[in-house]
Chains A and B, each alone.
Chain A
Amino acid sequence: MKPFTYQRALSVDTAVAESSERCRLLAGGIDLLGELKEGLVEADKVVAVTRIPGLDTIEKKSAGWTIGANVTVATIAAHADLARAFPGLAAAARDVASPQIRHVSTVAGNLLQHSRCWYYRHRDVTCMKKGGDVCYAREGEHKYHALFTGGYCISPLVSSLAVALTVLDASVVVRGRGGERRLTMAELYAPAWDDHAVHHAIVPGEMLTAIEIPLAARRSAFVQASEKASFDWALVSCAVSLELEGGVVRQARIALGAVSPVPYRDERAEKALVGTRLDETTADAAAALLLEKAEPLPHNAYKVPIARALIKRALLAAATPG
């Protein structure tokens, strides 16, 4: 790490005023320190945001739940009321990395973490995402890479919480120098779909302050498949939410993680479920629709059958009272 100065922000205003290309916001630091140590990003200054008062609470209001940006992943995983309301979110939080990481990582840091593509993370490789002119992964080692992308970079979104929050119709509250804006999860990641240079929509000078989840009579579930039994990235993850009425689907959301630069959804798959009763057949049909546009490469085609299985499992789990 090159030398930098350090400031502990005690208000969102300070963080927003300071934040820039050369001044990074520091939450749990798991992602940022990794990047600084490898020299992937450089900072003249680091502004710690975790002591800003009021951003570390989980509140239930009439319109919905608000999760402060500084709430840790461990807190989400252990929050009993939240888990009852959104089992999928709790399940996703429980599987993030390791206890040591969950204890310090914040929900904002998790959502805004950068690419994990091993070329991007390599100190001596300069790919498109880092300003170079080729994507090494496409012609090279892409077993962990995306099946869907609108651009050329195939680095997938890896935040588990992003996937879980997507199906809850959550939005993020973002403070900038000019004021506040709200983005849906889709909007938060939309720029990464076809712009290889970015990871998400938050720009220097902005700070994510909260996540809002609307109240709805939904069931949710999250499942992931990895190579190891724990402390391993998802090869594919899948979150679903369902509104059921007498066993019949009224509304469905399905999002996939680790297969696209964004939480991957396809409305056709979700609509196809509406009016049906969930069983192996309907779930599998939805899975097939969701995966229809996959563009597998030689080493990542295996993610297609995994995704298909996970979609089915997540749907059936959410549909089963428990």
Chain B
Amino acid sequence: MKPIERSSGGAGAPAHVVSRRAFLRGLGTAAVTAAATSTAAVAAEMEKAGGEATVGPGEVPLEFVLNGKPVRTAAEPRETLLDVLRARFGLTGAKEGCDRGTCGACTVLLDGKPIYACMRLALEVAGASIETIEGQSLAGGLSPVQAAFVKHDALQCGFCTPGFVMTTTALLRANPTPTEAEVRRACSGHLCRCGSQPHIIRAALAAAGVATTTTSTADSLRHDHA
């Protein structure tokens, strides 16, 4: 999915935009992609460059790191990160399930932590690192979390799935061998109307290589009575 590059603000664009862009260019893709430190550096630099200019209400240039790559777009101050990802970048993996911070379908990682993209103004992520589901299956294959979700059928309609995958991914990075209780806590900000939660718990633990849980057991009793 290629981000749509928009030309920035035009005549009214505040001066700091230029230095931000210059900064990102200077930094180079590799450095920005590398690690959180470069993300922090981007943020620090942008704060310096950006000052306290009042922007909007029209479109304002916006730069951040999306799935490891610096990107540039423009957004009105009232646009949420979710709207920008979906409408301006065409990244539709994060879903709008409620638009009110209650379902988790829009979950993305902000500097590595799960947040609701529907409850974040896009301008608020300037300079930060955002990871979406589209950045997970790099090199064509599925990530271990994704593979475990498929193997253990941790999904039905799949609409809530990208959100659960993002949260599980963040959990396992921070805590490679979580307990079942930790999985439940980490995923408590997500809803799944198909009721896939028992298999989600199982998949999350399996992806971590933790012995499988008691949450869901099953037997099929073939020809039990004949």
Binding site for B on A (CB under 8 A): 1-11, 14, 26, 29-30, 33-34, 36-37, 45-46, 48, 50-51, 74, 97-101, 103-104, 230-231
Asked if B54 and A6 sit within 8 Å, CB to CB, the answer is yes
- Measured between beta carbons, the chain B residues less than 8 angstroms from A3 are 56-58, 76-78
Asked if B101 and A103 sit within 8 Å, CB to CB, the answer is no
Can you list the 5 inter-chain pairs with the closest CB atoms, starting with the nearest?
A98-B189, A6-B77, A3-B57, A230-B188, A1-B78
A11 to B77, CA, bound (A): 20
Interchain nearest-CB distance for B210 vs A (Å): 19
Asked if B189 and A26 sit within 8 Å, CB to CB, the answer is no
Interchain nearest-CB distance for A277 vs B (Å): 34
Indicate the member of B54, B101, B116 with the most A CB atoms within 10 Å.
B101
Chain B binding surface, main DSSP class: mixed
Asked if B76 and A101 sit within 8 Å, CB to CB, the answer is no
Asked if A48 and B57 sit within 8 Å, CB to CB, the answer is no
Contact flag A5-B56 (CB < 8 Å), given A98-B188, A99-B114: yes
Which stretch in B30-38, B118-126, B134-142, B211-219 binds the other chain?
B118-126
Judge whether B132 is part of the interface by a CB distance below 8 angstroms. no
- Measured between beta carbons, the chain B residues less than 8 angstroms from A2 are 78
A45 to B52, CA, bound (A): 13
Judge whether B80 is part of the interface by a CB distance below 8 angstroms. yes
Asked if A99 and B167 sit within 8 Å, CB to CB, the answer is yes
- Measured between beta carbons, the chain B residues less than 8 angstroms from A14 are 52
Interchain nearest-CB distance for B180 vs A (Å): 14
Other 14 A-B pairs with CB < 8 A, given A29-B124, A34-B119 = A3-B76, A4-B56, A5-B57, A8-B47, A8-B50, A8-B52, A26-B121, A29-B121, A36-B78, A37-B100, A46-B121, A101-B189, A103-B110, A104-B120
Judge whether B45 is part of the interface by a CB distance below 8 angstroms. no
Asked if B47 and A10 sit within 8 Å, CB to CB, the answer is yes
| Minimal Cβ-Cβ distance residue in A for B57 | A3
| Minimal Cβ-Cβ distance residue in B for A1 | B78
Asked if A33 and B185 sit within 8 Å, CB to CB, the answer is no
Residue in A29, A33, A51, A104 whose CB lies within 8 Å of B47? A51
